Amino acid sequence: MRSLTIAGRTISDTDPCYVIAEVGNNHGGRLDLAAEMVVAAADCGCDAVKFQRRDVAHLYTPALLRTPYDHEHSYGATYGTHRLALELPLAAYQDVFALGRRVGIAAFATAFDAQSADDLLALGPPALKIASGDLTNTPLLAHVATAGVPIILSTGGATWADVDRALNLVHAHTSRVALLHCTAAYPVHQHAELNLRAIPTMRDRYPEVVIGWSGHDTGIALAVMAYTLGARIIEKHFTLHRTWKGTDQAFSLEPGGMRRMVRDLGRAREAWGTGEKLRYPSEVAPLRKMEKVLVATRSLSAGQVLQKTDLTPKIAGVDGIPPYAWETLVGFPLAMALAPDDPITYAHLRSEATA
């Protein structure tokens, strides 16, 4: 059975959906907002809250760092200053991870490079995330595969060959890995590109691996759809205010939306039921007002042998004999009299039908 455990919480086909609130850089580089978002995610019922860490000086080329970055979501005049402004200091990650433990939510981060992975691992996180852009980064995958913590791999923009390669590499060192179907657009404007049918395909292709979905759409309905298709981890971007500056803010869920998504995922799991068809206690009273029972069409005396014309289906608001049994009553004598519209029961019949 596919299963993964993060901070004592088991993720499997028989457990509730594991919900990750992806803060990313929506904290704007402020520790106080990052901490507030940890608490808010826990209050929403999320299982985990996730951040991102980059070793900016070594992750990007100098030319890219010098590139002008002047628009409404920029935190600096160049891409380098923008990225540095959004990075929390390492001590801040230690603070938010510890805060997560206090409020009962797993807190971890995506590592975009080996140094960031080592920095995060030194803090003892319950898991590590690798972004879609690094699914083909085999040096980074090899580096984190031996970390001793669960690894969550996003697969946006990947081919099956890319996913196979990454999973085989990580699996050579650990079985504690999950795959997230993903579309690496921020946000996804063409709903067809979400391609949620890839989720059951991934489940079939990797039968021992927990499959999830990292959604970059703007609502909550498709998260429930992804869950019913087999995603057992749902990751959604999270913010306190979608109007804040930042490229991810507009398609992130605010606490109200996140809380409703967690609620609906729980309802979806309960709504699966057993697959059996049966009558629930809650249906008995409503069906009494809707279902027909057989009643007498006229006054019938004790001993009278029933004919089909003696009975008709009507709603009587009481238990009785259903219309499908109509033919089986023909030929039985009545043990007692019936007035017009009296519901007939088996107690009204003698035990033997007439020849």
Per-residue pLDDT averaged across 9-13, rounded? 98
Of the three residues 222, 238, 271, the one that is the final residue of a domain is 271
| Type and span of the H or E element at 152 | strand 151-154
Name the band, by pLDDT with cuts 50, 70 and 90, for residue 351: confident
64-89 pLDDT, tens per residue?
999 999 889 899 999 999 999 999 99
* β-pair partners for 9: 6
| Structure tokens belonging to residue 196 | 């949620």
- Look at residues 206, 144, 208 and name the one whose alpha carbon lies nearest to residue 173: 144
Is the pLDDT reported for residue 355 higher than 70? no
Q: Are 36 and 163 members of one domain?
A: yes
Number of Cβ within a 10 Å radius of residue 92: 19
Name the band, by pLDDT with cuts 50, 70 and 90, for residue 141: very high
* β-pair partners for 24: 51
Give the pLDDT confidence score for residue 256 in this predicted structure: 98
250-274 pLDDT, tens per residue?
999 999 999 999 999 999 999 999 9
Q: Are 212 and 255 members of one domain?
A: yes
Please give the Cα distance from 287 to 23 (Å, whole number): 48
Give the pLDDT confidence score for residue 354 in this predicted structure: 62
- Number of structural domains (the chain) is 2
| Domain presence at residue 317 | yes
CATH of the domain at 65: 3.20.20.70
| Domain presence at residue 193 | yes
282-335 pLDDT, tens per residue?
999 999 999 999 999 999 999 999 999 999 999 999 999 999 999 999 999 999
Q: Are 235 and 286 members of one domain?
A: no
Give the pLDDT confidence score for residue 70 in this predicted structure: 87
Angle (deg, nearest 10), helices 114-121 and 90-103 = 50
Q: Are 314 and 211 members of one domain?
A: no
Give the pLDDT confidence score for residue 137 in this predicted structure: 98
Q: Are 30 and 125 members of one domain?
A: yes
Please state, for a pLDDT cut of 90, what percent of the chain lies above it: 97
Structural domain range at position 344: 281-348
Of the three residues 251, 271, 291, the one that is the final residue of a domain is 271
Name the band, by pLDDT with cuts 50, 70 and 90, for residue 353: low
Phi/psi for 347 (5° steps) reads: -70, -20
Q: Are 158 and 66 members of one domain?
A: yes
Task: Please check whether residue 100 is in contact with residue 107, taking contact to mean a CB–CB distance below 8 angstroms.
Answer: yes
